[in-house]
Amino acid sequence: MSIRYAPAIVASAVSLMVALAGAQQTQTPATAPQPAPAPAAAPAPAQVPFSPASTPEQEQLRLVPVKGHGGKVHLLPATMETTQWGWFNNAQPPVLHVNSGDTIVFETMMHSHNQVVPGTTIEQIKKLRTDFPGRGPHTLTGPVYIEGAEPGDVLKVRINKIVPRAYGTNFNVPGMFGEFPSKFPDGQVKYFYLDLERKIAEFAPGIEIPLRPFPGTLGVARAEPGQYSSVPPGRYAGNLDIRDETEGSTLYVPVFVKGALLWTGDSHAAQGNGEINLTALETAYKEMSVTVEVVKNMKLEWPRIEINDAWITVGIDKDLNVALDILKAETTNFLMEQRKIDKAAAEKAMMASWDCRVSQVVDVNKGLHCFSAKNPKGQRKIEALPEAENKAYLVTVGKDADLNKAMDDASWAMIELLQNQKNLSRLDAYGLASMVMDCRLATPDGAQKAVYCLVPKSTWVAQR
């Protein structure tokens, strides 16, 4: 990667980066509240010693000639001046100004200002969290100010290209985070080579993870003033962790402040639906090219994602049951808009073509998402949920009136199955499931809810 940091940590480099981060942020960030339709009063802004990270001369030097683009192309390297570690603040001075229609070539860092790289131990990773409470682990490049973006507009962000680094990591911070912190008082970190030619990472001999890079975090500044953790996603998008938001997809997100203020980070090479141990296959990007556009006459309450054959709607809340209610309402509203039908017809269409997933359950605010086919005739293949193991998948199921418990039961059963059937250690089962498991929602039917967690058998390959 072409950023200014060496690819491995040595003691002097860590000391320098921590000192720089400390000099840049002298106050402990405020803990993030939960996003809500009518937010409570925001906490007092943290007294961050902001300093301009961009000058007209610097911005001119970031403009480059590139054929085939309608707008200008801007390079945004990841440096200590163009990134933040673990927080958003809508008072943060922009590091770049662009116009609607321009393309930004982002560079990103690994977690904690590039300190979580091969060689960093799980004890060191845990200390990076405990020594900086209230702050997320993510390193975020930005913010980027988009000229003409105003509150009430929608920012359209198309992902053109993603090029990861050569390595990634997955880790479980002992006893602190993930879906089952109390059941995993022990921690583990594993590092992986990302084979970009074969598009796989080898988890262990005979076990391969398909690579499908996407930004875990891509979003705009929230409306509330003050400093907030980067962990919880919300109406501003942010840490959505939706693995289909990859090359060729487009994010539509409501704008809450002038200029929108676009950030990205938490770069992933792969992720399971659920992300149960808190981490995906975490990496950093040499390049993430996006084209931005300000949309003036589109009313949007929650983010949406457009992919090749479908639209993705979201439901986000600390309680999966509430997230499901939001998801159903958002999907119904989308179908009413798309197909010009009334609410009753939209609800019927939603249930008839139900294709929904658990995005993640580990980011304070949990996420769900649904696919709705672009073709109103529904010519998007929807795979039937298997009740038991079949030729393609290992399968576990959780059923309960409480969707949180259904998810816990299904995912815990998969961890146990991977131990018993595939002879993985507890921590390896937890980590592998976090990177490849696909947790899907059954069509809502009365009070009982169901989650089906699937692990592709293609994950296990003949050893070469």
Task: Give burial (CB, 10 Å; 0-12/13-18/19+) of 250.
Answer: middle
> pLDDT value at position 49?
54
> pLDDT value at position 32?
36
> pLDDT value at position 51?
58
> pLDDT value at position 462?
78
What span, in angstroms and rounded, lies between the C-alpha atoms of 96 and 220? Answer: 14
Cβ atoms 358, 316 nearer than 8 A = no
Task: Give burial (CB, 10 Å; 0-12/13-18/19+) of 338.
Answer: middle
Q: What is the maximal distance between C-alpha atoms in the chain?
A: 63
**Cα-based angle 87, 93, 99 (whole degrees, multiple of 5):** 110
Q: Which segments in the chain show pLDDT lower than 50?
A: 1-47
Residues spanned by CATH 2.60.120.580 within the chain?
Answer: 11-28+50-295
> pLDDT value at position 145?
98
Residues spanned by CATH 3.10.28.20 within the chain?
Answer: 304-459
Give 304-459's CATH code, choosing from 3.10.28.20, 3.40.470.10, 3.40.50.300, 3.90.79.10: 3.10.28.20
> pLDDT value at position 54?
86
Give 11-28+50-295's CATH code, choosing from 3.30.360.10, 1.10.1200.10, 3.40.190.10, 2.60.120.580: 2.60.120.580
Phi, psi of 183 (to 5 degrees): -90, -5
What span, in angstroms and rounded, lies between the C-alpha atoms of 424 and 173? Answer: 19
Q: 455: part of which helix (H) or strand (E)?
A: strand 449-456
> Beta strands of 79-220 (E only): which ranges?
83-85, 87-89, 96-99, 103-106, 139-147, 154-164, 167-172, 188-195, 200-204, 207-210, 214-220
**Cα-based angle 111, 163, 216 (whole degrees, multiple of 5):** 45
What span, in angstroms and rounded, lies between the C-alpha atoms of 440 and 423? Answer: 25
What span, in angstroms and rounded, lies between the C-alpha atoms of 425 and 255? Answer: 45
Q: CA 212 → CA 95, 163, 426, distances in Å?
A: 28, 11, 25
What span, in angstroms and rounded, lies between the C-alpha atoms of 242 and 240? Answer: 5
Q: Which two tokens stand for residue 88?
A: 């958003």
